[in-house]
Chains A and B, each alone.
Chain A
Amino acid sequence: MDISQDYFSCYGLSCDFAVDSVALRQSHRQLQQQHHPDRFVSKSDSDQRRAVQITAYLNQAYATLSEPLKRGIYLLQLQGMDPLAPTNTQMPMDFLLQQIELRESLEEMSQAQDPETQMDSMSSRLQHQASQLESEFAQAYGSSNFEIAETSVRKLQFIVKLQQQLDALEGALLD
């Protein structure tokens, strides 16, 4: 197996944001079994090393393609772009304002009388925004509007981060 090829090709998928998750999982399992290091214990050192390399590659590939955010970033990287470049801090103003508001309310939630309802409503708001951004990305990428796609995936990164913080707060409060 060629581990210099892109992740989509290794699973026989087309380079697209829409991914058939069932096909991806099946293809991943099949390749994983085929190249599992356990099958190479009696083989040569170089065969064993190769099996380990391929397994690492497959794990990375699957982790990247199975998550919408990582998949979007990877698709742009295949176009030679770097959507998470640390030197690029410009985001649409209205989006940043909204982000600050959301983080402020997240901060206040821990002291709220009824944090569960508030957490649920923020969570569904974030999920809604995430799925909107994902379809925005898919459409832009599909029509080669890579700059619009880049903005969508950059926004998605903030939403995912916020969702993680919300999950962490939920865990802490429900303990």
Chain B
Amino acid sequence: MAYSEQVLDHYENPRNVGKMDEADAHVGTGMVGAPACGDVMRLQIKVNDDGVIEDAKFKTYGCGSAIASSSLVTEWMKGMTLDQAGEIRNSNISEELALPPVKIHCSVLAEDAIKAAIHNYKSKQ
């Protein structure tokens, strides 16, 4: 199955790969896993005092579509408020990356990682 150009771009040049200090009160960490393919995703956000996401990092162990989905959302989230980021849906991601139906679960994983990171940040405040 051929990957779309958008997926290949994010896969070959992933944005914002990395790790932040989980103990930092400004950092929210979301970890999710997709048993269907055994992919694991860690997504972290750094939120400033105005509730705006200043930075986002990810590390994904999985297929090209899962890496591209998480890379894309880290780009999107920077500059968003938590509420705006919480409105990102997997359909936005799969549309942008032109994911085929069998890879939709990768975008679901990214959406759930965002929610988990926001939830983790809020639970620290």
Contacts and interface: CB of A to CB of B under 8 A. Distances in A.
Are A and B co-members of a single complex?
yes
Contacts of A100: 31, 40, 42, 59, 61
Nearest to A160: B38
A67 to B, nearest CB: 15
A86 interface: yes
A91 B108 contact: no
Contacts of A160: 38
A136 to B, nearest CB: 15
B69 to A, nearest CB: 12
B32 interface: yes
Interface residues on B, range: 10 to 19
Interface in B104-124: 104-105, 108-109, 112-113
Dominant secondary structure of chain A at its interface with chain B: helix
Dominant secondary structure of chain B at its interface with chain A: mixed
Which of B34, B35, B59 has the most chain A CB atoms closer than 10 A to its own CB?
B35
Interface string A84-95: 111111110101
Nearest to A83: B35
Given A100-B59, A100-B61, A103-B61, A90 B32 contact: yes
Interface string A133-168: 000000000000000000000100110111000000
Nearest to A98: B40
Nearest to A86: B105
Contact of A89 (B33, B38, B104): B33
Contacts of B38: 157-158, 160-162
B18 to A, nearest CB: 13
Given A86-B104, A86-B108, A100-B59, A91 B36 contact: no
A103 B42 CA distance: 12
Given A87-B108, A100-B42, A103-B61, A161 B37 contact: yes
Nearest to A82: B36
B35 A96 contact: no
A27 interface: no
A83 B35 CA distance: 8
A99 B61 CA distance: 9
Contacts of A89: 32-34, 108-109, 112-113
B35 A157 contact: yes
Which of B32, B38, B42 has the most chain A CB atoms closer than 10 A to its own CB?
B38
A99 B38 CA distance: 10
14 contacts: A87-B105, A88-B35, A89-B109, A90-B32, A90-B112, A93-B31, A95-B33, A96-B31, A100-B31, A100-B42, A100-B61, A103-B40, A158-B33, A160-B38
Interface of B: 31-38, 40, 42, 59, 61, 104-105, 108-109, 112-113
The 5 closest A-B pairs by CB, nearest first: A161-B38, A86-B105, A89-B32, A103-B61, A154-B35
